[in-house]
Amino acid sequence: MSLKPAITDLEQLKEHPAVACLERGLPGSIEAAKFEHDEMSLYIERSSIREACALLRDHPSCPFNFLSDVTCVDWYPAEPRFEVIYHLLSIRQKERVRLKVRLGDDAPSLDSVTPIWPAANYFEREVYDLFGIRFLGHPYLRRIQMPDDWEGHPLRKDYPVEGYR
């Protein structure tokens, strides 16, 4: 198994069902694409994430009906600082796709995808708890892992590993 270089040219990746669906239904929502290690990552524009997810869930031939995961990576001190990542799976076609949304530092917020997949509920609460990203429209956005009165967001890169208490 040799390390194949990543394919980042959107033209070459047009056959992937997720790319085709978003290019047709929501043109301009894909900021960039990357195909590496046999995995497709799409950088989605921040304001179109909910619509993009709805389109992908209702795709006619390859419905991405299973939300595997919502997580976040903190690229401090690089800007844009946060990257919220959605891992989708199509149970019928056994196809995965990764959607990434880049957010800046001050009061990062994003539309919640709980109306589309109720599975996002706990995942988004965890991202809010550990990174501080607010999900607009979430039914119950409270801290889930840390105690309710905790200050700070532990998984951010400027929060020390040893913690403050």
Partner 1 sequence: MILNMGPQHPSTHGVLRVMLEIDGETVVRIMPDIGYLHTGIEKTCEAKFYQQVVPLTDRIDYLCPLTNNLCYCLAVEKLLALEIPPKAQWLRVLLNELTRINSHLVWLGTHALDIGAMTVFLYCFREREDVLRLFEAVSGQRMMTSYFRIGGLALEPPMDFLDRVRDFVRRFPARVDEYENLLTANPIWEMRTKGVARITPEDAVALGASGPTLRASGVDFDLRRDMPYSSYDKFNFDVPVAQEGDVFARYLCRVRELRESNKIVEQALAGMPEGPIKAEAPKVVLPDREKMKTQMEALIYHFKIITEGFSVPAGEVYQAVESPRGEMGYYVVSDGTAKPYRVHMRSACLANLQTLPAMCEGRLIADVVAAIGSIDIVLGEIDR
Residues that bind partner 1 (CB under 8 A): 1-4, 6, 36-37, 39, 41, 65-69, 71, 73-74, 85, 87, 89, 91, 94, 96, 98, 117-123, 126, 130, 143-147, 154-155, 159, 161, 163
Query: Between 22 and 88, whose beta carbon lies closer to partner 1?
Result: 88
What the block records as the tokens of 60 is 């006619």
Residues 112/120, Cβ–Cβ less than 8 Å? yes
Shortest Å distance, C-beta 73 to partner 1: 5
Shortest Å distance, C-beta 64 to partner 1: 11
Q: Which of 35, 54, 51 is nearest to 98 (CA)?
A: 35
Shortest Å distance, C-beta 145 to partner 1: 4
Shortest Å distance, C-beta 102 to partner 1: 14
Q: In whole angstroms, what is the distance from residue 100 CA to residue 41 CA?
A: 7
Shortest Å distance, C-beta 146 to partner 1: 6
Query: Between 47 and 140, whose beta carbon lies closer to partner 1?
Result: 140
Query: Between 9 and 47, whose beta carbon lies closer to partner 1?
Result: 9
Query: Between 24 and 152, whose beta carbon lies closer to partner 1?
Result: 152
Residues 6+ away with beta carbon under 8 Å from 103:
46, 80, 81, 82, 83, 84, 109, 110, 133
Name the helix (H) or strand (E) containing 34: strand 30-36
Q: In whole angstroms, what is the distance from residue 124 CA to residue 133 CA?
A: 9
Residues 67/45, Cβ–Cβ less than 8 Å? no
Query: Between 47 and 73, whose beta carbon lies closer to partner 1?
Result: 73
